[in-house]
Amino acid sequence: MPETLELTQRAPRKEPAPVDPSPLLARKIAALRRRHVSVAVLTGLAIAVSVGIELLALEMFADWWMEFQWSVRLVLLIAQVGLLTYILIRLVFLPLWRQPDDDDVALMVEKARPTFRSRLIASLQLTRPGAIPPGSSAALVAAMVAETQTLAQNIDFNAIVSIERLKKFGAMAVAVFLIGILGVAYGRETAWDLLKRAFLSHTPVPRKTRVFVQDGDRTIGIGDNVRVEAWVQGIVPARGKVEVRYRTRRMQEYPLEQDKDNKIHFGRSIENVQESFTYQIYLNDGVSETCHVTAIPRPTVASIECEQEYPAYTRIKPAKRSLGGRPLLANSKLRLRVTATKQIKTASIKLVGVDREFPMKVETDNQKVLTGEFAIPAKGLTGFSIQMLDTEEMESKDSAVYRVDLVPDKAPVVRITYPDRKEELITRQATMLVGIDAVDDFEIARIRLKYKVATPVIDASVVDLPGGVPAEAAEKIVELDLEGQTPQRVRRRHEWKIGEFRPLLPEGSTIEYWVEVEDNNNVTGPGIGATEHQLAKVVSESDKRADLLNRAGDYLGSINDVAADQEKLNRNLGALIREKSGGN
């Protein structure tokens, strides 16, 4: 073994210089890819248009023939949308999303043009960075690229992509589209209605007689009458029918009545509806859409509570009242608490006899409970009713009217109990007793004695009157003291001191007097009651004594007449007793 060993190492192979790709090949490959994708996408769109229009036309024809229900049309529409979606995804979006790369396009060209003998794909792959392995000849690759470029320069890459399939489906799409446009134009309203139905409209199937129903779907109260009406276009028949199907699967047919004044109008009333139903109207070959009539109970009053609040001047506490009880005092308030049979949205109190309405409050915790109040007018009111709108937008109808009997606050009633004669004779110094009996519904606030003096000689100095007004034209008042009380009834005698008049009344003067009573009604009153007017004539003392003697004589004569009548009755009674005794 040698003492020294000389180690030799191989030098690493040098990386060859990269070859520049051919711009010509790149442009031709890119153009071919665009053409390939465009042809594929346009072909897919043409297929989608053709299939979509044909399926739509087929459904419209089948619908006109068999009159599909809405649910069937929904299934068909979903199926068509699903199929079109599949076609668009498969033939349009996927070619756009998964476009072929340069190698795929190159293989496509080499397959169509064998003269390249794999030069094209090799020219693309070997010009990429790092594609030439170490030790390989870059010059050889550059020569191959140049040769490939020379071959490709005279070849039309776009011609490789066939457009025959595009032409075929494109022509089909254009033809189908034009036929569809012509069909819609020719069919006019019929085609438009079928098209609307294909897209789930509730438009009826077009016929020679077209039936239109306005406000077909409605909600009514149980027991109400419902009017079924239809209008027609096209051929107007002389008669028709309506088929009614109840929820219990019971079916009835009713003939339709033609309006004599409007031949295109047909109608029929269905009375006393007790349950919900659907109906269709048949006129000639026309059939209306299916309409729904929902019958629900109307809201009614289950119970009602009343409380009367009297006016403050009556000093009566609020009291519960029963409807139909004793009359209600005018100008008081009536509070109501109503329990309804359904949940209520809004409610009001409607007065009968007067055109007034008061809103009611719906309790938030219990929408069946309503509260409200109204003031009882002085006249005109005969009753009230409760108007309600429930949460289903159903109104109360023909609500019960609760009768109200009004009793007004009457004016006080007063009379003069003494003197009992309409004309009394008095002297200038007399004290005249005036007996009063007054009664009111509630309380008496004031009593006053009113009078006027007529003197035989009209002289402003006789009575103390401003401005020289004639005495007989003056009206004077004497307030009677109630001592701070407001009684319901007053019985008293007032000592009217005629001798305190200053100056003294001359003989021959006449006093016209009467009594007025005022109650404590401070709302619509006060009510005032008055007695009849009586007279007191001022005479001399001798005339007064003569009057007293005459009155005493009258009293004595009356006593004698009574005694004579009593004696006559006693004699007749004795004779009757004797006759009875003798007969026995």
Tell me: do 429 and 532 sit in the same domain. Answer: yes
Instruction: Indicate the pLDDT class of residue 70, thresholds 50, 70 and 90.
Output: confident
User: Is the pLDDT at 448 greater than 50, yes or no?
Assistant: yes
- Relative orientation angle of helices 138-153 and 23-66, to the nearest 10 degrees: 50
Please give the pLDDT value at position 301: 92
Distance CA 452, CA 470 (A): 11
- Domain membership of residue 245 (yes or no) is yes
Identify whether 240 is part of a domain: yes
Q: What is the pLDDT of residues 317-363, one digit of tens each?
A: 888 887 765 678 888 889 999 999 999 999 999 999 888 899 999 99
Inside any domain, residue 515: yes
| CATH number of the domain within which 432 lies | 2.60.40
Q: Are residues 377 and 403 in the same domain?
A: yes
Q: Does a structural domain hold residue 288?
A: yes
- Does position 6 have pLDDT exceeding 70, yes or no? no
Whether residues 399 and 421 share a domain: the answer is: no
Indicate if 242 and 97 belong to the same structural domain: no
Name the percent of the chain lying above pLDDT 70.
Answer: 89
The CA distance from 105 to 103, in Å, is 5
Same domain, 397 and 440: no
For residue 358, the model assigns a pLDDT of 93
pLDDT at 433 over 70: yes
Residue 410 has what pLDDT?
Answer: 86
Predicted confidence band of residue 136 (pLDDT cuts 50, 70, 90): low
What's the mean pLDDT in 5-32? 67
- Residue 486 in any domain: the answer is yes
Q: Identify the domain containing residue 564 by its residue range.
A: 544-569
Residue 473 DSSP class: G
Instruction: Name the residue with higher pLDDT: 222 or 117.
Output: 222
Confidence at residue 12, expressed as pLDDT on a 0 to 100 scale: 56
Q: Whose CA is closest to 389, among 359, 365, 366, 355?
A: 359
255 falls in which pLDDT band (50, 70, 90)?
A: very high
pLDDT digits (tens, 9 = 90+) for 472-526: 457 889 888 888 888 889 998 888 888 888 888 888 889 899 999 999 888 887 8
506 & 562 share domain: no
The count of residues in the chain is 584
Q: Which two tokens mark 581?
A: 């005794």
Provide the pLDDT for residue 469.
39
- Max alpha carbon distance in the chain (Å)? 205
Give the Cα separation of 442 and 569 in Å (integer).
Answer: 48
The pLDDT assigned to 337 comes to: 93
Q: How many domains does the chain have?
A: 5
Residue 555: what pLDDT?
65
pLDDT tens for 142-174 read 778 787 787 878 888 878 888 888 889 889 989
570 membership: H or E segment, kind and range? helix 541-583
Do 46 and 177 sit in the same domain of this protein?
A: yes
Domain boundary among 278, 296, 314: 296
Quick one: which of 298, 303, 304 has its CA closest to 390? 298
pLDDT, tens only, 275-290: 999 999 998 888 888 8
- Taking all residues of the chain, what is their mean pLDDT, rounded to a whole number? 83
Among the candidates 277, 296, 315, a domain finishes at 296
Q: Are residues 175 and 34 in the same domain?
A: yes
H or E stretch including 41? Answer: helix 23-66
Taking a C-beta distance cutoff of 8 angstroms, is the pair 282, 254 a contact? no
What torsion do the CA atoms of 158, 161, 166, 167 make, to the nearest 10 degrees?
Answer: 70
User: How far apart, in whole angstroms, are the C-alpha atoms of residue 429 and residue 98?
Assistant: 136
Together in a domain, 421 and 533: yes
- HEC-encoded secondary structure of 64-110: HHHCCCHHHHHHHHHHHHHHHHHHHHHHHHHHHHCCCCHHHHHHHHH
| pLDDT reading at 38 higher than 50 | yes
pLDDT of residue 14: 57
**How far is 171 from 166, CA to CA, in rounded Å?**
8
In a domain, 327, yes or no: yes
Check whether residue 260 and residue 139 sit in a common domain.
Answer: no
CATH number at residue 221: 2.60.40.10
- Give dist(CA 180, CA 175) in Å, integer: 8
Residue type, 63: D
Give residue 557's identity as a one-letter amino acid code. Answer: G
Tokens standing for residue 150: 């020379």
Strands 328-329 and 534-538: unpaired
Model confidence at 4: pLDDT above 80:
no
572: left (phi over 0), alpha (psi -120 to 50) or beta: alpha
Segment among 2-16, 39-53, 196-210, 548-562 with least mean pLDDT: 2-16
Residue 463, both tokens: 């009575």
Q: What is the pLDDT of residues 258-270, one digit of tens each?
A: 888 898 999 999 9
What pLDDT was estimated at residue 244?
A: 93
Q: Both tokens of residue 473?
A: 């034209």
In-domain check, residue 422: yes
Mean pLDDT for 73-88 is 91
> Residues 104-117: what's their mean pLDDT?
81
Beta bridge partners, 389, equal 346, 395
142 lies in the same domain as 256: no
Peptide bond into 23 cis (omega under 30): no
Q: Are 244 and 277 in contact (CB under 8 A)?
A: yes
Pair (160, 28) in one structural domain: yes
Task: Answer yes or no: is 11 within a domain.
Answer: no
Q: Which of 377, 407, 437 is the last residue before a domain boundary?
A: 407
